[in-house]
Amino acid sequence: MRRYGLIKSGLDAHTLGMHNVAQLLESCAFSAFIADAKVTHAIDTISDPASFEAFKKWILDKNITCLGFSYRLDPQQALQVFGKIVYYIDKDRDLCPKQKGCLREIYFAGLPESCAQIEKEFGARFQTFRGDETPAETLEKLGIPSNLIPKALHKISLYDELRLDFGKDLINREKQFSIPPFKEYSYREYGTLQDLLVKRLDYAKKLNLLPLTRVHAGPYLKDREKALALFSQWLKKLSKSGYLDIISIGSSQLSQSRFGEDWGDLPNGGGIPINSELELRAVSEDAAPMLVRAYSATKNIATSARIFENHLNMAWHALSLWWFNRLDGRGPLSLRQSLGEHIETLKYIAKAGKPYEPNTPHHFAFRGSDDITYVASAYLAARTAKRLGIRHLVLQNMLNTPKSTWGLRDLVKSRVLLRLVRSLEDENFRVIYQPRAGLDYFSPDKERAKNQLAAVSALMSDIEPEKKNSPEIIHVVSYSEALFLANPDVINESIQITKAALKFYPEFRQINSISDLTLSIDVDEEALEMWDEARRLIEDMEINIKGLYTGDGLYKAFKMGYLPVPHLWECREDFPHAVDWTTKTINGGVHIVDEYGKKMPLRKRLARIRNLNAVRNNS
């Protein structure tokens, strides 16, 4: 019987893909084991005998017969790392397939260029996965007999098929190239250090020019000075071309964790290596008249926010609250420390009068949470921000997460998310909606990815089809996401595809009666059920956690298991109630399930939380 082991590099923070594969295998009654953080980090130093022994012990202890390795970083490094793994496996008689070791097959998943290099180096010895395989195709390549693959995994909804047909037609007819750059705005502060997101939104709305476009971008080069120079060129080109409103700096991990420090020979980890206030100011000048924003730091968070505000005139600040710390291996702070610093930073952002983006729900989804947790976590973040004086909230909504999510389910999640968070609106609190495509949604086939970008843009316009100016901002994810970092030409065409989809889709929607699907009674009932369950979950937290909308309260909500993260990578032993759940994709949505794989009713979920914490309090 095949037993699968899945492992990635410790440098890669994303685990959603591996967990999806593990769930697919388990749905076919095959065992799948995901390597823990210790084994994952051993992969990066596998030449060290102790590291190889840790890796080998994991394989033998789990009786793994099929090994899958994921590396979605630099293609050259992918070949080197995978080559080392194969070399040391081939030397070991207990593991080597050729020496009748326990491993029958080895697989590689990575960027298309990485897969091509590995195929060139090793021929047909290893199956490679580029990331756009359907669930059924994935299982077939993993050697699962077709008769064991559930029929439901072959299913795709009619709504999704229609949108992809629309995207294919739009791209085939090159309709994106009919979208011109927007004209320069003429309000007094435009392009100056006094320019603000709200001013630009209100002006664009007045001229019927919404949505604004936001892109996260930046080249990666090993030479720091060359990377900064190239980024300067990119910013000037994007600014001059006139398609982009807001540039989000794709800063490096070192920029986020050690800004202003001496980096020495520390690995950069990808992204723009900005490390001084002078370099921030240069970015601001090169980008004008675009608005600019950067990701938060992972320590000294409030201090960094002040620096960014003073030298970038931040369009808005983004904080992940529960994330970008030891929980996901992205920062040095504990969860409690991180939440404390985020609360202090939110107070500063409110005082500065800037908008705030809770970069939160999709990070729960990345760790295997269910759809109820997705929407509830956004509400917790929004209400906490309002309590601390934030007046404008940029509500980011990552669609296609996980990518197995059906489009109609995304509509349900998005509508419930908006209804929940907008329930907080009043004269002192405004919600600005910003959807985006999923992080791993796009195919490495360029033309197919363009079709997908048009299709997901169409979905965005179906969320609130009755609203003329919704969404107000779109975070445009470039079609090259699965291939390479988007350069200015790709970014501009991606914006054109997005805006062309918004322009031409309404007619397609009407001709094909798509509203019969998106505004159906079934969709409304599903949204009502999710709304009711999310509200009951939130109310239970409010009853049982004193000071819920504080750093301590948000910590307790996570610690007590109200926000399940079964795929959490680090710190699992510190948060047993948070990880001790099982989620499953059912009919295009992610649900908490019981020991039989059936949806767990919310009342049982709440009772389980109470029981778990009663045992802890009595022990």
pLDDT confidence of 268, banded at 50, 70, 90? confident
Flag whether pLDDT at 335 surpasses 50: yes
Q: What band does 153 get if pLDDT is binned at 50, 70 and 90?
A: low
Tokens representing residue 220 in the block: 């990666």
**Structural domain for 331, as ranges:** 317-432+523-619
Q: Cα-flanking dihedrals φ and ψ of residue 437, to 5°?
A: -75, 160
Average pLDDT score over residue span 568-591: 93
Percent of the chain whose predicted confidence (pLDDT) is above 70: 97
E strands in 204-327: 212-217, 246-249, 291-294, 317-319
Measured between its terminal Cα atoms, the distance across the chain in Å is 41
Give 464-497 pLDDT, tens digit per residue: 999 989 999 999 999 999 888 899 999 999 999 9
DSSP H or E run through 3: strand 3-8
Which pLDDT does position 13 carry in this prediction?
64
Q: Are strands 246-249 and 127-129 parallel, antiparallel or unpaired?
A: unpaired
Query: What is the pLDDT, as a whole number, of residue 576?
Result: 96
**Angle at CA of residue 608, ends 606 and 610, nearest 5°:** 70
Cα 608 to Cα 212: distance, rounded to the nearest angstrom: 44
d(C-alpha 144, C-alpha 356), whole Å? 46
- Give the pLDDT confidence score for residue 615 in this predicted structure: 62
Lowest mean pLDDT across 246-260, 372-386, 399-413, 575-589: 246-260
Q: Which of 152-161, 251-260, 306-315 has the lowest mean pLDDT?
A: 152-161
> CB neighbours of 21 closer than 8 A, spacing ≥ 6?
6, 32, 68, 138, 142
- Which residues, in sequence order, are bridge partners of residue 499? none
Query: How buried is residue 359: exposed, middle or buried, by Cβ count under 10 Å (0-12/13-18/19+)?
Result: buried
In this model, does residue 155 exceed pLDDT 70? no
> Of 423, 427, 412, nearest to 538 (Cα)?
423
pLDDT tens sequence across 59-89: 999 999 999 999 877 777 888 889 999 999 9
Chosen domain end from 154, 187, 216: 154
The residue from 119, 154, 189 where one domain ends is 154
Q: How many angstroms separate the CA atoms of 103 and 64, rounded?
A: 7
Instruction: Return the closest-CA partner of residue 510 out of 518, 498, 500, 499.
Output: 518
Q: Percent of the chain scored above 90 by pLDDT?
A: 70
User: What is the token pair recorded at 539?
Assistant: 């109310």
How many structural domains comprise the chain? 2
Q: What is the pLDDT of residues 503-528, one digit of tens each?
A: 999 999 999 999 999 999 999 999 99
pTM for this predicted structure = 0.86
Confidence at 265, pLDDT banded by 50, 70, 90: confident
Q: Report the CATH number that the domain containing residue 127 is assigned in CATH.
A: 3.40.50.2300
Final residue in a domain of this structure, among 131, 154, 177: 154
Check pLDDT > 50 for residue 619.
no
Is residue 484, in this structure, part of any structural domain at all? no
The lowest-confidence range among 102-116, 547-561, 598-612 is 102-116
In a domain, 503, yes or no: no
Average per-residue pLDDT for the chain: 92
> pLDDT grade, residue 444 (50/70/90)?
confident
Residue 203 covered by a domain: no
Contact 443, 455 (CB under 8 A): no
**What value does the mean pLDDT take over residues 282-307?**
94
pLDDT at 200: 96
Of residues 10 and 354, which shows the higher confidence score? 354
- Please determine, for residue 614, whether its predicted confidence score (pLDDT) is greater than 90: no
Q: What is the spatial distance between Cα 340 and Cα 190, in angstroms, rounded to a whole number?
A: 35
Distance of CA 426 to CAs 105, 318, 392, 416, 503, Å? 59, 22, 11, 18, 31
457 within a domain of the structure (yes/no):
no
Mean pLDDT value of segment 120-148: 87
Q: How far apart are CA 498 and CA 456, in angstroms?
A: 9
Token readout for 106 is 């080895």
Read off the pLDDT band of 436 (50, 70, 90): very high
